[in-house]
Amino acid sequence: MRHDPAVVDDPKGHWQVVPHAEDYDRGRFGDVKGRVYRWVEERALRRAIRPLARTDRILDAACGTGRITSLLLRAGFQGVVASDISLAMMSVAQRRLAQVPFFQSDVTSLPFDDASFDTVTCVGLLMHLDRDTRLRALAELARISRRFLVVQYGCVGGFTRLVKWLTGGEPGGVRHSIVQAEITRDLQRIGLRERARFWALRPFSTSVILLLTK
C-alpha cells in the first residue's frame, strides 16, 4: 500500500515541533480542498452542538491550534476550557484565544475531576489512535463529562473502501479509520449512547460527528 503523505507517522511527536505547529492550519486548510472540508466539518459540528445549553462548562480536548475552541466561543458557549498534549500547538491557540484557560495533558490522562464539565468535545483525534488507545481516551472523556460528549470518528463506508482499493491511500487521510460495528462496540464498552450523528460529506469523507450521552 502506498503511504498517504497526509498521514503523519508520529503525530504525538510531530505536532510538538514548533514549525510544524505553526504551519498546521495553512497546511491543512490552506487550499481549496482544505477550505471546503473545513466548512463541511464545522457545519456538522455546529449541528451537533445546537441542542447544548450555552451556559454549559465545556472542555475542548485535543484542541490543537484552537479551531474548534474558537467555534465553540463563536457559538456562544461561556465556559470554554481547552487542553492538548502539544505546547507548540496550544501556543498558537493561546495567541488567538487569550481568554481561554489551556491545560497541557494527554487525552488518556486528563487533569480534571470526575464530571468536571457538562460537555466534552474531541474533534480530529480518535481516528489517529489505535483501538486500545482510542478506548482509553473515550473512557477518560466520559469520566470528566457530566452528560454530553461530542466526538469525531473516521468511519469507512463502501465508497471510501473502493477509493482505498483504487488508490492505495488511507481512507480519509487518517491512521485508524474504522467501520460502524467498531463504533458501536466502542460506545457499548464505555457505556455511552448515541443521540445523533452528523456526516461531514458522506460518502466522500469518513468524517462523522457523534453527539453522545452518558
Per-residue pLDDT of the chain (214 residues; tens, 9 = 90+): 333 444 566 666 766 778 787 888 888 888 998 899 899 999 999 999 999 999 999 999 999 999 999 999 999 999 999 999 999 999 999 999 999 999 999 999 999 999 999 999 999 999 889 999 999 999 999 999 999 999 999 877 655 655 565 566 665 566 677 889 999 999 999 999 999 999 987 767 788 999 999 9
- C-alpha–C-alpha distance, residues 43 and 118, integer Å: 22
The reported pTM is: 0.87
Tell me which residue of 143, 149, 151 sits closest to 119, measured CA to CA: 149
pLDDT at 21: 78
Per-residue exposure over 199-212, b if at least 16 CB sit within 10 Å of its own CB, e if not: bbebeebbbbbbbb
Tell me which residue of 13, 17, 114 sits closest to 59, measured CA to CA: 114
CA distances from 85 to 81, 129, 173 (A): 14, 14, 21
Domains annotated for the chain, with CATH where assigned, are 11-213 (3.40.50.150)
Helices 32-49, 67-74: crossing angle, 10 deg rounding? 50
